[in-house]
Amino acid sequence: MLRDKILERLKMQNDIEKILDKIMNKKSITQKEAEAIYTNEQLNELDYQLKQEPILSKEEQEEYDKIAFKEDMELFDRIKELEAKKENKILEIVQKLEKNLSSSTTSQKQTKQETKLNNKIDNYFNKYLEYKKDFYKISDSSIKSYKASYKYFKYFITNNTNLNFSFFKKLQKQLQQLPKNFFKYKKYYTKDFKEVVKLKDIENYDTLDNKTINNHIVNIKNFFDYLVYEEIIEINPLSNIKPLIENKEIKKEEYSEEELQEIFNSDIEKEYLNMCKVALYTGFRIEEVLSIKKENIKDNLIYLDLEDTISKKHKRIMPIHNNIQKIIQNQKKYNKGDFLFFDGNSPAEVKNVGKRLNRRLKKIINNPYKSFHSFRKNFSQELEINTKAEDKIKKYLMGHTLNKDITHTVYNRSKINIDKLFDCISQITFKYK
């Protein structure tokens, strides 16, 4: 076989080279080694035999090269491996240097843009609002939302504030500790942040929820995107800010007829029960029920106008159903002060009344998916199933926006037919006794 002949030829040649190496170094050799030197004729014979073999195929040539140059190839592979490691090490060092340089450059750019921004931030924000109005035709409610977010942002900055990623990351956490309706009360917004946090321990106020905070951060980020677009700054420091995890709201279920009967035949205090009946026949939220002023009840209508809200969902006219007319008259007569129930809709009052009322409801119907808000759900289903009113009338009574209804906003100039409202409300009939 060709393989055997090649191996024999290489072995003989290798042996002779070793013997000659000994002689050159004046080392003694054995008789057998001396005889091997005179085997040229045998080598020539092998060479001759190899020449008589047919031309090697590609596979055979590769096999011959692997055998003949095995040591050389192994050495070559080793050299390549070492060179690759060396190149990788150099590349790693270069990449680190580039990263550090980039970080340093970015930091310098941010510092420059921060100094430039702080002095003119109000001016830039006003231009941003004009830009949004002119190019995107945004609504007044959107403008109010942007201004509210900017107000929170401004509360935390000074002329020396570094408007970098770290600042906005910290801002996100600080917003989680502020009370709801923060700018409604001087006792909050006139104090610095540390003083406000101390009040939290005393008052145990409700804080801004994560959804609201995420909306504020998005609004501020969009403002900084505009600054990048206008080439006022090069980098948006909010680009990598991650949104907070929003708590999933538990969807409330309506009360059954049997449960309504249990509630209204219970020994819950009269004023609380009256609130529940008003909510059942109006679909009002608890803060809306508490916001009803005696002076805003005229001609069998409740004129709801809840102040200090960004949207208009709390502003509407509600006809008084026959089944609650007597309740409302009694409340007007016996409740002290300007409001129909308790002391009105201040955040503390809404929170306290809400907690007390829901505790009482839970003692009767112990279901985590049912609370005071369930009365609104009952009202909504009654509107949908048992009334024949137009969809826009139903939406209006529920306090849902009609801004996207072109017929309502453009052709009717946002006016609602009072007779249609009365007709719709009169069709509502709950069967509890």
The arithmetic mean of pLDDT across residues 312-326, rounded, is: 83
Neighbours of 106 (CB within 10 A): 14
Is residue 340's pLDDT more than 70? yes
Average pLDDT of every residue of the chain: 81
Query: 273 Cβ partners below 8 Å, 6+ apart?
Result: 263, 264, 266
Give the single-character DSSP code of 205. Answer: P
pLDDT score recorded for residue 247: 73
Mean pLDDT of 54-63: 64
Q: What is the pLDDT of residue 413?
A: 37
Please, are residues 145 and 220 in contact by the beta-carbon 8 Å criterion?
A: no
pLDDT for residue 19: 63
For tokens 């055997």, what's the residue?
4
Q: CA 388 to CA 379: how far, in whole Å?
A: 14
- The more confidently predicted of residues 91 and 314 is 91
| Dihedrals phi, psi of 319, to nearest 5 degrees | -65, 145
Q: Distances in Å between the alpha carbon of 367 and those of 285, 357, 363?
A: 19, 14, 9
pLDDT tier at 347, thresholds 50, 70, 90: confident
Phi-psi region of 296 (alpha: psi -120 to 50; beta: other; left: phi over 0): alpha
pTM: 0.47
Q: String of b and e for 214-252 (b: at least 16 CB within 10 Å)?
A: bbbbebbbebbebbeeeeebeebbbeebeebeeeeeeeb
Label residue 202 by pLDDT band (50, 70, 90): confident
Dihedral over alpha carbons 124, 145, 185, 210 (to 10 degrees): -110
Q: Would you say 141 and 310 are in contact if contact means Cβ atoms under 8 Å apart?
A: yes
Q: Band the pLDDT of 377: cuts 50, 70, 90.
A: very high
Lowest mean pLDDT among 3-17, 82-96, 330-344, 419-433: 3-17
Query: Per residue in 38-50, pLDDT tens?
Result: 555 565 565 555 5
Class of domain 257-426 as given by CATH: mainly alpha
Q: What is the reported pLDDT for 295? A: 93
Report the pLDDT averaged over residues 11-25: 67
Domain range annotation of the chain: 2-68, 117-229, 257-426
pLDDT of residue 67: 67
| pLDDT recorded at residue 309 | 43
